[in-house]
Structures are given as C-alpha cells and as structure tokens.
Amino acid sequence: MLPKGANLQKIRDGKRTYAITPHLPGGFIKPEVMQKYVDVTKKYGGTMKLTSAQRIMITGLKAEDIENIWEDLGMTPALGFANCVRSVKICPGIAFCKRGKQDSIKLGLELDKRYIKKEMPSRIKMGVSACPNSCGESVVKDIGVIGTDEGWDVYAGGSAGSHPRLADKIITSLDYDDTLRMVDIIMRYYQKHADIERIGQFIERIGLEKFKTDVLAEFYGEKSAATEPKVPQSEASEKIVPVPGGLTEGDLVFGDPITADSVISDIIRVYPQTVPVFRSFGMGCLGCPSSAGEPVRQAAEIHGLNLTELLAALNKVVPANS
C-alpha cells in the first residue's frame, strides 16, 4: 500500500523510496513556502526536483516519514489519483512577458481551480500560453489554449511521451468567458463518451470531424447527436479498430484468463471491472501509454508487487474465473 500522497520512486536492494509533490498552482511560490520546502527536505534527507508541471517534488523519502512531511509542509498533494486533471501549465503572460497577448495567469489559475484533481477517463494535462510561442506547451497538452491579438484559440488532443500527438485546433478568437465555456464543453463531452484513453486517442477513435461537430454544436447552442459509448468487445458485433497506444490493442478476448503476459491496456479493454483492482494495488496510471502497454509481469516488478497475488485478484473479477 502506498503512503498517502506519495509515489514509489525506486526499489533498490529491497528498499523503497518515495516522492511527494505538493500542489503549486501555476508554479507560483512565496518565499516562506520555499523555505518550508528547504527545511523539510533537509530534515528528512530528501532531494528537491523541479517537474515539468511547474511543481517541486521532494524525492528520496522513507514511507514512515511521509505523513509527518505533509504535516510539516502544511500543503496538499498535487494529485488525487492517476486518472484526473493532473496539471495546468501556465506561461508568464502579459503580467511578466513582453510578448504576451493575453492574460494567461488569470485564465490558467481559473482552469486550475475548476479542474485540478477532477476525475477523468484518463490523465489530463492542460497548457495555457499567452502568445503563439506556446511556452505553456499548449499543443502537446490534452487541452491547450493559446493567446493571440484576437483572443484565445482552443486546442484538444495533444500529448508528448511515448505516443506524441499535436493537438487539433477546435476554435479561435474567443474571449475569456467563452474560452472557459469551450473548455468545459470539451471536458464534459470527453467525460461522457471516452474510454480509459487520452483525449487525443479519443479523437482518433471517433474522428476529428465528429468531435468538432459535437462540441461546437453545443457551443453555438445547437442540438448535437452525441457519440454513442463504445460497446465492449465482448458484446460488439464488429471488430474494434485498434488505436496506436490506445486501449484497443492486443489479443485478449472475453472469457480468457489474465496471465502474467497479458497487457494492461488489453485487460482493461476486455475486463473494465479490473480497474479498481489495479488501483487497489497502487497502480493508478492506467491511462499512461507506457504503463498501459506493459504486461502484468513487468508492471508488478516495477511496482514491487507480488505477481501471484495480483493475478489472483484480477482473475477473481473475471466472469469465467470468478
């Protein structure tokens, strides 16, 4: 069981070390809070590391110290669980940058307030950039907004990592309020219709034209024909088309037992009821392309889990084996 608010970092010679990442909206930090970081890191023998999500991680920690560390910091964890809105990356914007076109800090902090830690079908990252230079990395985020002289352009479906994808431009030249409304429409549409897949994978599966038609129809006040939820393979009359890096790869079919060589994304596609089991073992990153593409054997090794116990728990909820 993972210590609350901690991530397993390393298992070496049987010893485990953990990291914690407090929430820092927009990466802004006051001197007195920075001093707390320094004091806590020294006290518990950790190391501070800047993250790509504009946060400060403290790593190299012992499990028995985690609770006291959070108490000493007086802060909250950046993440509630894996499949949620994980970060909103914000550029300096017009407040600090001579090239800024729009107020990225105001918009970014509002998005953080509305969505951070909100449960989603998969992990979601947002990026807010005040100009087309895109210092908030908006086009490689699930939701990205970019400021121009005319307003905000909204993008969806970007990602980096092992399956990089540039985001699709959904709409342009919106004001502050309409930008928030457009993002909300996209998020609700994704929540309602997606499997355990990133927004880019979802768009690839249903088609960009369908995605844009539906979300823009709602934005402009028209009645939209919503995307029907995908039928699980066990009930489908037609074969699901594989999405590279998504949840439709592999050979596992309904009724097969889960083995050490079964791929996690394949298991979730065929047996979605296994998701709570994975999470109960501390394996929350089910929407991450890297972890989703791992066989159970490899995932158990990385997480320091007993493979036999994990397989037994997974197969217990599989209809053919329960």
Residue finishing a domain among 45, 73, 101: 73
* Alpha-carbon gap, residue 241 to 293, rounded angstroms: 17
Predicted confidence (pLDDT) per residue in 96-106, tens digit? 999 999 999 99
The predicted structure's pLDDT at residue 270: 82
Measured in residues, the chain has a length of 322
Higher pLDDT: 287 or 248? It is 287
Provide the pLDDT for residue 89: 97
d(CA 307, CA 268): 17
Q: How many domains does the chain have?
A: 2
Question: Tell me: the pLDDT tens digits for 159-209?
Answer: 998 789 999 999 999 999 999 999 999 999 999 999 889 999 999 999 999
> Using the 8-state DSSP alphabet, how is residue 319 labeled?
T
Closest CA to 61 of 13, 107, 6, 115: 6
In a domain, 233, yes or no: no
Confidence category of residue 232, pLDDT binned at 50, 70, 90: very low
**What is the average pLDDT score of the chain?**
85
Largest CA distance in the chain: 63
Query: Which residue, 219, 247, 271, sits at the end of a domain?
Result: 219
Could you list the residue range(s) of the whole structural domain that residue 34 is in? 7-73
Same domain for 105 and 174, yes or no, is: yes
Instruction: Read off the CATH number of the domain in which 131 is found.
Output: 3.30.413.10
270 domain-assigned? no
H or E element at residue 192: helix 176-193
CA distance 116 to 118: 5
Backbone angles phi, psi at 130, to 5 degrees: -80, -10
In degrees rounded to 5, what are phi and psi of residue 136?
-85, 10
pLDDT digits (tens, 9 = 90+) for 263-297: 887 888 788 788 888 877 877 666 565 566 788 88
- Looking at residue 290, its pLDDT comes to 57
H or E segment to which residue 18 belongs: strand 15-20
Q: Positive or negative, the Cα torsion across 190, 196, 199, 201? A: negative
Q: Is 69 in the same domain as 105?
A: no
Pairing type for strands 124-129 and 85-90 reads parallel
Task: Note the pLDDT tens digit of each residue in 199-228.
Answer: 999 999 999 999 999 999 999 996 544 444
CA trace torsion 204, 205, 210, 216 (10° rounding)? -60
DSSP-derived secondary structure for 257-310? PP-TT-BHHHHHHH-GGGHHHHHHTT---TT-HHHHTSBHHHHHHHHT--HHHH
Tell whether 271 is covered by a domain: no
Q: Indicate whether 184 and 209 sit together in one domain.
A: yes
